[in-house]
Amino acid sequence: MADNFKTRLRNETVIGPIISLPCADVADLLSRAGFDYLWIDLEHSPMSVTDAQLLLQAAGGRCPCVIRVPEVSEAWIKKALDTGCDGIVIPQIRSAAEARAAVAWCLYPPLGRRGAAATRAHAFGMDFAGYVARANEDLAIILQVEHIDAVNEIEAILQTPGVAALFVGPFDLSGSMGLLGQIGHGDVQAAIDRVIAASRAHGMPLGLYVVDGPSAADARARGFNMIALGTDSSYLVAAARAALAAAKGT
C-alpha cells in the first residue's frame, strides 16, 4: 500500500493521541477527530489485549492504530499483532540485541519468527494468505529509546533491519540517568540530541510525546515527525476544567 501508516511515517509528520482508557467510544470519537493515528497504550494503563482489540474495532478503519505493548516480550508482541494493528510500539529497548529480537518477533518467517494462528489480523483465517503476504512489509515496528544504554548503542540499534521508527521517551531516559523528571536538564537534552542526530543521519523517522500544540511545533522543528499529542484523559480533564472555569467566570 502506498499510503499505509509505515509509508506515511517515512514521508510526513503524523500526529495522534495516546489512548489509555478502555472505552470503545473514546477510540470511536478520536478516530473521527482528524488525527493521523491512534496510540493504544497497554504499558501505562489497565487495558488488556481484548480491550485494545475492541478499540481497534471501534476505530473502524478510519484511522491507523498502533499498540504499545507493556514490555519487550514475544508473547505480548504476538498478542498485540494478532489484533490487526497497523503498528507496534515496543518500550525499553536497551541494546541492538534487544532490537533484533523484538523485530524478529514481529515478522513472519523467513525474516523473523512470528507465530501464526487464526486471529483478527487476518479475518480469523479468512484472509490468512493475503495478510501474511503483506504483513512484513506493512507493519510499522517502532522501538522506544528511553534508557541511556540505548542512547549509548544508538548507532547499532539504527542498523537493525525492519525498524520503521524510533520513539524517544524523555521521562524514563531521565530516570535512567539519575535525573528522573528533569527532562530539561542539559545532560538529558544532550542525550536526546544524540538520538536526533544519529536518526537524521540514517534517515530514520523519530517520535516524541508532547502535551500541547506549541510543544508539538517545537518537536517538529527539532526533527521529530511522529508526534504523540496528549492523552484521552488529559483532553477530558482540560475540556472539563475550561468549561467549568468559563461557567464560573474564573
Distance CA 135, CA 214 (A): 36
d(CA 122, CA 135): 10
Give the integer Cα–Cα distance in Å for 27 and 29. Answer: 5
List 44, 147, 185, 202, catalytic entry: 44
CA nearest 39: which of 250, 210, 222?
210
Can you state the angle between helices 49-59 and 24-31, rounded to 10 degrees? 40
Q: How far from chain centre, in Å, is Cα 238?
A: 23
Identify the H or E element spanning 230.
strand 226-231
202 is known as an active-site residue: no
Q: Which amino acid is at 13?
A: T
Coil, strand or helix: which one is 55? Answer: helix
Q: Which residues are catalytic?
A: 44
